[in-house]
Amino acid sequence: MITVRLDKAKHNRDQFDCGVVVLNNYLKTMASQQAQKDNTRTFVLEDETYASVIIGFYTLTMISVDLKNLPEKLQEKHHTANTAGLIARLAVDKRYTGKGFGELLLIDALKRLLEASELVAFPLVVVDAKDGAIGFYEKFGFTSFIDSLNKLYLTINDIRVSIE
Ligand SMILES: CC(C)(COP(=O)(O)OP(=O)(O)OC[C@H]1O[C@@H](n2cnc3c(N)ncnc32)[C@H](O)[C@@H]1OP(=O)(O)O)[C@@H](O)C(=O)NCCC(=O)NCCS
C-alpha cells in the first residue's frame, strides 16, 4: 500500500473520522489549502478497493526547535542547527484502527522526512502528539522534549539506521 498527496477532487474528506475533531477538521478544511500555499504537505493512505476512502493521513512541515530542551549530548552535536522536520498531524479513521495502519503511516512519514533531509539537512524529526498518543510514538523510539511531554523527537540518524 502506498500513500499519495491529498487530492480534494478525489479523496472523500467529509467521511473521515479518527475520533479527534480538530484532526478531522484539519483534513476537511485546512489540509488542501495549506498545501496549495506550500505551508504543509498532507499524504493519505487510500483504501485499496475504494480509492476515494481515506484510511489515514499525515501532515508534514518544518519547525524551529529550542535545543535547550534536548539532552546535553544532542545539544552539543547539533548546536548549529535550529530546525526539524515536523509530523504535524497523523491519524487513522476509527474504522481502520488496530490493523497496523498507524505504524505504516508513521514509517512512511519518517521515510519521506529522511529523504527530504538528504537534500535540505535537518537533524531531528518532531511530532506533536495528542493526549493518549504519546505511547504510540514512544513505541517507535520517540523521546519527549524536556519541557513538553506531548512534543517528541527522533534523530534523523536513528531513522536512517533503523530504515537501512
Ligand atoms: C494513534 C493512532 C494513529 C494509532 O493508529 P492504529 O492504526 O490504531 O495503530 P497501529 O494498529 O498501527 O498500532 C501500532 C502499534 O501501536 C500501538 N498503539 C496504537 N495506538 C496506541 C496508543 N494510543 N498508545 C500506545 N500504543 C498505541 C498498537 O498497540 C500497536 O502495537 P503492537 O504492534 O505492539 O500491537 C490512531 O489510534 C489515531 O488516529 N488516533 C486518533 C488521532 C491521534 O491521536 N493521532 C496521533 C497524534 S496526532
Q: Where are the domains of the chain?
A: 3-163
CATH of domain 3-163: 3.40.630.30
Whether residue 130 has pLDDT greater than 90: no
Among protein residues, the one with the nearest Cα to ligand 1's atom 7 is: 102
Give residue for cell 535545543.
67
Among protein residues, the one with the nearest Cα to ligand 1's atom 34 is: 139
Q: How confident is the model at residue 29 (pLDDT cuts 50, 70, 90)?
A: very high
Among protein residues, the one with the nearest Cα to ligand 1's atom 4 is: 102
Average pLDDT over residues 111-129: 97
Ligand 1 pocket, residue 99 CB under 6 Å: yes
Ligand 1 pocket, residue 98 CB under 6 Å: yes
Whether residue 131 has pLDDT greater than 90: no
Residue from 18, 90, 136, 144 to probe ligand 1 pocket by mutation (most atoms less than 8 Å from CB): 136
Mean of the per-residue pLDDT values of the chain: 96
Ligand 1 pocket, residue 123 CB under 6 Å: no
146-160 pLDDT, tens per residue?
Answer: 999 999 999 999 999
Q: How confident is the model at residue 1 (pLDDT cuts 50, 70, 90)?
A: confident
Give CA–CA dist 145/51, Å, rounded: 37
Taking the CA of residue 96 as reference, the ligand 1 atom at the shortest distance is 7
DSSP 37-100: TTS-EEEEEEPSS-TTSEEEEEEEEEEE--GGGS-HHHHHHTTT--EEEEEEEEEE-GGGTTSS
Give CA–CA dist 95/107, Å, rounded: 20
